[in-house]
Amino acid sequence: MIITRTPFRISFFGGGTDYPAWYREHGGRVLSTSINKYGYTTVRHLAPFFDHKYNIRYRQQEEAKTIEDIKHPSVRECLKYVGEKNGLEVNYSADLPAMSGLGSSSAFTVGFLHALYGLQNKPVTKYQLARDAITVEQERIGENVGSQDQTVAAFGGFNKIEFGGEQEISVSPLAIDSRKLRSLQDRLMLFFTGFQRNASEIAGEQIKNMPRLGRELRIMGSFVDDAVTHLTSHGELSDDFGKLLDESWRIKRSLSSRITTQFVDDMYETARRSGALGGKLLGAGGGGFMLLYVSPEKQEKVRDALRKALYVPLQFENQGSTIVYQMPAEEAHCS
């Protein structure tokens, strides 16, 4: 039996430049961090006493006799990708809801692959986990997803991630003063809009629009460098970080008609009037979680103004996907 814990993420800047359709020609970069909200995947061999070979529990429950019968696309394609032939029981649970802009789908793929490799006693690097998850989602499943979420889930930490070139992915942890990092964490507020959405469908329109979005995507990529300068310079955290989030969000919402809604715009402007300096809807857009940058003395006012939305405290984390429990194979077969 293997249990993996894989973090969700928040992306600050550069989202959209991590799609292969963009970065393979122009390069891309993002600034993001993993947070202390996780998906947990348990995988173990299924004893041969049932008329099915696979028992899979997530938001639904599946019992399948063959891999091809499995409806969950990531489970099906990961099993085929790693060549796992044994019957399995798979259980997944998470701290926060899926389809909400925190990279939970990719976190599942990373965590499930990690568990399968552990079950097969195969060592795997963080880089391989990220690359394999990207291959499964983009090439095997055919999802309209970028390469950021899988990378953050595998590596963890607060990173500048660059895409393109020979290596395709380059992860650079930021050397941020611990007090400044804590100051940033203390200024971030996470609210659930109450709406879940299909990120692949929303991203599909953005990808289709990419040929005419070159200027906007280059500007959004440049915000990564500006933010890194703010965070790694000497002195206290500058509120320019929050203002940069606002500027980036106003560009991002123009990339596709499906990124925002009137409800989201009203929620964001309410937060701004109450003291938020900036923020963004996380992920592809359309719903999910909204991230806000708010000075500590104004956070109570913002929480009151958004009292109908669920507030979720967060902390940064730096471990990435980890195996938190592994039962020796011989012991597992005796259970």
CATH number where 116 lies: 3.30.230.10
The model's pLDDT over 45-104, given as tens digits with 9 standing for 90+, comes to: 998 888 899 999 999 999 999 999 999 999 999 999 999 989 999 999 999 988 888 999
Q: How confident is the model at residue 112 (pLDDT cuts 50, 70, 90)?
A: very high
> Are 300 and 163 contained in the same domain?
no
Kindly state whether residues 307 and 325 are assigned to the same domain. no
Average the pLDDT over 120-130 and give the result.
Answer: 96
Q: What is the CATH number of the domain that holds 257?
A: 3.30.70.890
- Alpha helices, DSSP H only, in the chain? 20-26, 73-82, 104-119, 126-134, 148-155, 178-186, 199-209, 214-232, 240-252, 262-273, 299-305, 329-334
Based on the domain organization, do 141 and 51 belong to the same domain?
A: yes
CA angle (39 as vertex; 36, 41 as ends), nearest 5: 140
CA 93, 95, 99, 102 torsion-angle sign? negative
| β partners of residue 11 | 32
Are 107 and 153 contained in the same domain? yes
Give the count of domains, the chain.
2
pLDDT at 99: 80
Residue 94 to residue 104: CA distance in whole angstroms: 9
Q: pLDDT tens-digit profile of 269-289?
A: 999 999 999 999 997 667 789
CA distance 96 to 7: 11
- Examine the domain organization and report whether 48 and 191 are in the same domain: no
Cα 223 to Cα 17: distance, rounded to the nearest angstrom: 12
Q: What pLDDT does residue 335 have?
A: 43
Query: Does residue 188 sit in the same domain as residue 161?
Result: no
**Confidence band for 197, pLDDT divided at 50, 70 and 90:** low
Same domain, 169 and 184: no
CA 30 distance to own-chain centroid: 12
143: number of CA atoms within 13 Å, CB side? 22
Which residues constitute the domain of residue 251?
Answer: 178-314
Euclidean distance between CA atoms 141 and 76, whole angstroms: 9
Cα separation, 236 vs 309, in Å, equals 31
